[in-house]
């Protein structure tokens, strides 16, 4: 197994070279209806993390501008806990100690913290390495963080803890919050302890997309404007449950149609809620629907940020 992860999407979704990457990511803030580029690192100590899409950068830059807006004022982190989506995962939760190659060199994973976490968890966290190879829900935020920190003049190194999350399908189809002894809470408690230990030196990244609809995703229907509007309304109810810090309402809403629209952030949002409990507020800043006429399919995604309530 390689000691580091090769970027699958360099030269495809974002530039390979350092100079071109700097220009590309800075461009997120140079568009109409996006936040201005005004970095003031550490000026807003209430920021706990970011809600980010992991849709192809070529689809939207606006969503990423709004997603990374609060990075410009958040405390300067040493470690980012990235809650991604295990698109190829064989496990409900997994992590990996390998760093990522980026246009700025190797960005290391927090291997000591990762191995310590894995030792404290009574189920395997390091046995699904394949699922981390080419996983864009981790690659994209690592590369973007490296680039934007460089643009902000932050020279101090950083590392990250990748956690790929499954879909909690058993509980989704029952419409029930996982039991108290479920792996969700065991992992959340360990991550909460780590968060309390590191304080503002740790920031949380929730890297998810939203609904996946249409023939491309094996649905027996084409996406229409009416279906897009219905999806927006369905997601509004789901996000309001997250904003209200109400896991029961979250799972009950998913149960109604068995997550038929394939919202891919179920595990990551459930873990986020379990880590923070009632000590967070979530503010959404951007919502977008990517519709492709070629196959009449669509993907939705949301940007935002987390603040502490203390």
In tens, the pLDDT along 176-208 reads 788 888 999 999 999 999 999 999 999 999 999
Q: What is the DSSP string of 232-292?
A: HHHHHHHHHHHHTT-HHHHHHHHHHHTTTT--TTHHHHHHHHHHHTTSEEEEEEEEEEEEE
pLDDT value of residue 310 = 63
Residue 153 exposed, middle or buried by CB count within 10 Å (0-12, 13-18, 19+): exposed
Task: Say if 250 falls within a structural domain.
Answer: no
pLDDT band at 216 (very low <50, low <70, confident <90, very high): very high
* 267 located within any domain: no
C-alpha distance from residue 29 to each of 22, 84, 144, 148 (Å):
12, 24, 13, 11
Query: Residue 252: inside a domain, yes or no?
Result: no
Whichever domain contains 135, its CATH number is 3.40.830.10
Q: In which domain, by residue range, is 144 found?
A: 4-209+302-308
Count Cβ atoms below 10 Å from residue 135 Cβ, excluding itself: 24
For residue 249, being part of any structural domain is answered with no
Number of domains in the chain: 1
C-alpha triplet 246, 248, 254: angle, nearest 5°: 105
Asked if the structure places residue 144 within a domain, the reply is yes
Q: Give me the mean pLDDT over the 100-123 stretch.
A: 95
pLDDT per residue as tens digits for the range 8-35: 999 999 999 999 999 999 999 988 889 9
Can you give the pLDDT at residue 1?
Answer: 60
**Mean residue pLDDT across the chain:** 95
In a domain, 94, yes or no: yes
Q: Does residue 279 lie within any of the structural domains?
A: no
Structure-block tokens of residue 26: 């800075």
Q: Would you say residue 216 lies in a domain?
A: no
**278 touches 245 (CB < 8 A):** yes
């Amino acid at each position: 197994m390689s000691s580091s992860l090769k970027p699958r999407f360099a030269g495809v979704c974002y530039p390979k070279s350092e100079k071109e990457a700097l220009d590309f990511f800075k461009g997120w803030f140079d568009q109409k209806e996006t936040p201005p580029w005004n970095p003031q690192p550490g000026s807003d100590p209430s920021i706990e993390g970011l809600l980010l899409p992991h849709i192809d950068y070529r689809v939207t830059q606006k969503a990423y501008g709004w997603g990374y807006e609060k990075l410009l004022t958040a405390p300067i982190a040493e470690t980012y806990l990235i809650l991604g989506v295990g698109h190829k995962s064989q496990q409900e939760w997994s992590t990996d100690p390998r760093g990522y190659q980026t246009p700025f060199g190797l960005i290391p994973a927090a291997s000591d913290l990762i191995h310590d976490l894995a030792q404290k968890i009574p189920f395997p966290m390091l046995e699904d390495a394949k699922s981390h190879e080419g996983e864009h829900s981790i690659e994209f935020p690592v590369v973007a963080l490296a680039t934007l920190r460089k643009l902000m003049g932050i020279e101090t190194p950083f590392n990250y803890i990748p956690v790929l999350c499954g879909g909690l399908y058993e509980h989704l189809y029952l419409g029930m919050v996982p039991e108290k002894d479920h792996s969700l809470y065991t992992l959340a408690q360990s991550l909460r302890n780590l968060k309390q230990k590191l304080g503002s030196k740790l920031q949380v990244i929730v890297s998810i997309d939203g609904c996946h609809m249409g023939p491309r995703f094996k649905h027996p229907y084409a996406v229409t404007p009416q279906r897009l509007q219905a999806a927006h309304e369905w997601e509004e109810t789901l996000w309001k449950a997250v904003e209200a810090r109400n896991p029961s309402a979250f799972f009950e809403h998913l149960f109604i149609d068995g997550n038929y629209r394939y919202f891919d952030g179920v595990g990551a949002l459930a873990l986020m809620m379990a880590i923070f409990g009632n000590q967070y507020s979530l503010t959404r800043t951007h919502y977008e629907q990517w519709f492709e006429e070629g196959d009449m399919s669509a993907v939705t995604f949301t940007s935002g940020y987390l603040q502490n309530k203390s």
